[in-house]
Amino acid sequence: MRTLLAGGRVIDPSQGIDRPADLLIVNGKVEAVLQPGEDAASDERLDVTGLTVCPGFIDIHVHLREPGFEYKEDIESGSAAAAAGGFTRICCMPNTNPAIDTASVCRHIIERAAGVGKAHVHPIGAATRGMEGERLTEINDLKSAGAVAISDDAFPIQNARTMRSVMQYCAMLNMPLMTHNEEKELTTGGSMNEGAAATVLGLAGMPPAAEDIAVARNIMLAAITGCRLHLLHISTAGTVELLRNAKEKGLAVTGEACPHHWALTDEACLGFNTDAKMNPPLRTTEDCEAIMRGLADGTIDCISTDHAPHAPHEKEVEFDAAPFGILGLETAVGLAITHLVAPGRMTLSTLVARFTTEPSRILGLSAGTLRPGAAADITVLDTQAAWQVDRAAVRSRSSNTPFHGATLKGRAAFTMVNGVRIAPEPAT
Ligand SMILES: [Zn+2]
Ligand SMILES: [Zn+2]
């Protein structure tokens, strides 16, 4: 079976390609990037004139909620949301029930996701049992069962000695450790960013320093253990600066940012809008600017979504009582093109790297490339499409997005996984 994606602009940062070209796929694998019109012998020809053909996008920070919380999301609905948003590969966090803290849960997720087949799914193993921050998991078993990284994400390890032990094991086993950076002594009781908006609402705040302090500690511990440290969902200008300094020192530290942390400020919480409640919280215009600069200059390596579905009955409560988290998979590409590429902050090619080669490199995945022989995981972008986010039209089982009604420029036209077209229809 020879499939030709013809007439598009092909961008593959792994090979430095950004030009008009045709992409030939043979039996589910990339065969070649061809000159336009070069091959006429394909069985199937997809006209992608006006569209951009990229390696499949990768999101290394997703909450799929299965097992245990399938009413919010399950592997099937989460994979469908990923495909609709332009992602062909996602990594799922371990705060399920049971947690991904044993090899058997890890294997279960891989099997379920393979059965669904809408996106590749890699589990992330917990660092401590039940993510309770005390007893370490069997990191080697998790790795053998297919976990690609270790993280307690939502339950950041507070004890520095425990964190050091986790890092020592991760270093020994060459497993990346992904940290949610939060000094809990400073955030207990807080439900949004500490600042003017929190004062107006009369809500307890979470200061930016709570993130910066934890980042500084984790970078220092990474330096003495040799652990590959990845900073999850960077929300403060301070973290961007700490990451920049760590990289200048040559430390193996990487970082990610989520679209909501540059597209919104804490003012989105005004009116007690629980769809704007997430952790780390929305910050200030200065923080948004620092994050966008960090993404443009490569200090922040990649874009992730922290896709965190919650059911309406959980979010439709007092702000204090609502859970943290918003949807991310179906709006990320539009928010990135709208805020980063359209205003000229970065080229489309750099953006594609933030979604493909960079996440692949951070977790050591063999993905994010259109090299001959690679699996034909493809994201095709329509960078000109103007569309409106509609919470009623999302593929996710939940609808907690603060972007409902927003007009975005750019979206995924479709994805392919192993050469099979997955999500052709638009989300609205
Ligand atoms: Zn987190
Ligand atoms: Zn998360």
What are 7-24's pLDDT values in tens digits? 999 999 999 999 999 999
Residue 428: the pLDDT is 41
By percentage, how much of the chain surpasses pLDDT 70?
Answer: 99
Ligand nearest to the CA of 305: 2
Summarize pLDDT for 389-404 with one digit per residue, the tens: 999 999 999 999 999 9
Residue 398: the pLDDT is 96
Q: Rounded to the nearest whole angstrom, what is the distance from the C-alpha of residue 426 to the centroid of ligand 1?
A: 29
Residues in a beta bridge with 288: none
d(CA 401, CA 288): 18
Ligand nearest to the CA of 63: 2
pLDDT at 427 over 90: no
Summarize pLDDT for 214-247 with one digit per residue, the tens: 999 999 999 999 999 999 999 999 999 999 999 9
Ligand nearest to the CA of 93: 2
| Region 155-165 average pLDDT | 98
Residue 298: the pLDDT is 98
Q: How confident is the model at residue 424 (pLDDT cuts 50, 70, 90)?
A: low
Summarize pLDDT for 242-300 with one digit per residue, the tens: 999 999 999 999 999 999 999 999 999 999 999 999 999 999 999 999 999 999 999 99
pLDDT at 45 over 60: yes
Q: How confident is the model at residue 39 (pLDDT cuts 50, 70, 90)?
A: confident
| Region 61-66 average pLDDT | 97
| Region 312-328 average pLDDT | 97
Q: Rounded to the nearest whole angstrom, what is the distance from the C-alpha of residue 369 to the centroid of ligand 1?
A: 28
Residue 425: the pLDDT is 53
Q: Rounded to the nearest whole angstrom, what is the distance from the C-alpha of residue 26 to the centroid of ligand 2?
A: 37
Ligand nearest to the CA of 62: 2
Catalytic positions, written as ranges: 306
Q: Rounded to the nearest whole angstrom, what is the distance from the C-alpha of residue 278 to the centroid of ligand 1?
A: 9
d(CA 75, CA 114): 10
253, two tokens: 């530290």
Q: Rounded to the nearest whole angstrom, what is the distance from the C-alpha of residue 232 to the centroid of ligand 1?
A: 7
Q: How confident is the model at residue 40 (pLDDT cuts 50, 70, 90)?
A: confident
Q: Rounded to the nearest whole angstrom, what is the distance from the C-alpha of residue 385 to the centroid of ligand 2?
A: 29
pLDDT at 423 over 90: no
Summarize pLDDT for 330-359 with one digit per residue, the tens: 999 999 999 999 999 999 999 999 999 999
Nearby residues for ligand 1 (ion, Cβ within 5 Å): 153, 180
Residue 159: the pLDDT is 98
Q: Rounded to the nearest whole angstrom, what is the distance from the C-alpha of residue 5 to the centroid of ligand 1?
A: 38
| Region 14-41 average pLDDT | 95
Residue 426: the pLDDT is 43
Ligand nearest to the CA of 179: 1
Q: Rounded to the nearest whole angstrom, what is the distance from the C-alpha of residue 93 to the centroid of ligand 2?
A: 7
pLDDT at 410 over 90: yes
